[in-house]
Structure 1
């Protein structure tokens, strides 16, 4: 068995209720290429049941038959969301399992994806009619990463990808990795976007500030993150703290 860099949020690849009609799934650890090395990341997907009963699947993680069967038993999968320029890899596997689901991805993803995306619609700065009554949406444009962020209205849950990362020191096995995270920013209890990624948004400062202010106006109570500890309370305060670099 390959040694992992993090102590996992076990059990993995199972549905975990996060609120009414909201579930998370903690997935496998992945490695992302960076300069001349690669960096390990835990993964997490989010599932929302829409008012019509269909499922909205954010950042699908892993090609796992048992998990897909459990999701299929929950309700019909209507939408598969590739929410930023990095989080798209398993969308083709989920589309194969759920061919009736419609795929959405951030602008430009099809042109730069290392794995071809299925036919899809582009996520814009406002939610499409298919979920606009239940989920709000805003686009955070960047030079390297563009991200669509969401608010599930009924539960006041903000659903992010890489806009905030929040790794718990006790779960990071390597002291060198903990030190790097402490220096770059994404370490709990003051988790935020790593500084190298933050710098790539400099050319879009006004648009990022506008998007951040939109999310503050949503006044979320809880926040789901793709990487690290989620926030189950004080969501607006935690969000303001973590994105202070953009205000």
Structure 2
């Protein structure tokens, strides 16, 4: 990646790292969790031992997604944490004890610190490339590439993408799931009508609505080689079988024809 592209990518990351919940005084620290709770959906099942929640940061930008996965030891792995209201946190805890929190990149770190405060034994995990940026808000206990294989999770390093995040291959009872973050979106009309209808004008102007794939902004700021990235997505579709679920940080999860849809995302780069 050229120096100019690196500099513009840094500006892009910095812009999307500006969003913060309202600040609380030290004397009100017990209310800090509540300050992080923004509108969100209920917890919904994607597959056995796999759940997802949609959070709304603003009615004008794309919603975000949090994934909960029950590990073989019955504890929970959380990907891209969202602070939830009391009822949903009780439901989450009924699923298992939070054990691992993946902070997937430097943008999706907003609620990591309050999760660590709430669950002191929670392991904060980040990709090696994201660790210095995650540690600006919360200490990192382990590198994803080192720890997660011990739990049967494969960490895929995207090719043709600036080092920033990983794709996680999660074993399910009936196949596999892939957890993406920002290098693929799936902002369908129905999804936005449900969670952020006011964002549709801006997102349509940005060319981000109506398809599963990398967005124009993703191409501009994340992608370093279109051909290499396309081939990498194709290899992922071939190797991860049977693929039952694809989750992205922004958009509707895919639970039907996952391998075909992953190949179609690759074809859009042709």
Sort the TM-score into its range (normalised by shorter chain): 0.7 to 0.9
Residues 1:85 and 1:206: Cα distance change in structure 2 (over 3 Å)? farther
2:57 to 6, 24, 30: 30
Displacement after TM superposition at 1:43 (Å): 1.7
> Secondary structure in 2 aligned to 1:118?
coil
Q: Residue 3 of structure 1 aligns with which residue?
A: none
RCO comparison, higher one (Cα < 8 Å, 6+): 2
Q: Tell whether 2:170 aligns with 1:152.
A: yes
1:186 to 188, 193, 208: 208
- The 5 A counterparts of 1:1-247 are 12-27=40-55, 29-31=56-58, 40-113=61-134, 116-124=137-145, 128-131=148-151, 133=152, 135-140=153-158, 142-143=161-162, 146-154=164-172, 155-170=175-190, 171=193, 173-174=197-198, 178=200, 180-182=202-204, 184-188=206-210, 190-203=211-224, 208=229, 211-216=232-237, 217-219=239-241, 220-244=243-267
Displacement after TM superposition at 1:181 (Å): 3.5
Q: Distance in 2 between matches of 1:84 and 1:245?
A: 24
Residues 1:58 and 1:51: Cα distance change in structure 2 (over 3 Å)? same
Displacement after TM superposition at 1:127 (Å): 6.3
Q: Distance in 2 between matches of 1:120 and 1:52?
A: 19
Higher strand share: 1
Displacement after TM superposition at 1:101 (Å): 1.6
Structure 2: runs of 5 or more not aligned: 1-38
When normalised by structure 1's length, the TM-score is: 0.76
Greater Rg, structure 1 or structure 2?
A: 2
Structure 1: runs of 5 or more not aligned: 1-10, 32-37
> Secondary structure in 2 aligned to 1:80?
strand
| 1:82-128 residue CA offsets vs partner (Å, 9 max, x unmatched) | 1123112111111111111211112343433595122322223x763
Residues 1:173 and 1:214: Cα distance change in structure 2 (over 3 Å)? same
Paired positions, count: 223
What is the Cα-based RMSD across aligned positions, in Å?
A: 3.0
Q: Distance in 2 between matches of 1:207 and 1:160?
A: 17
Higher helix share: 2
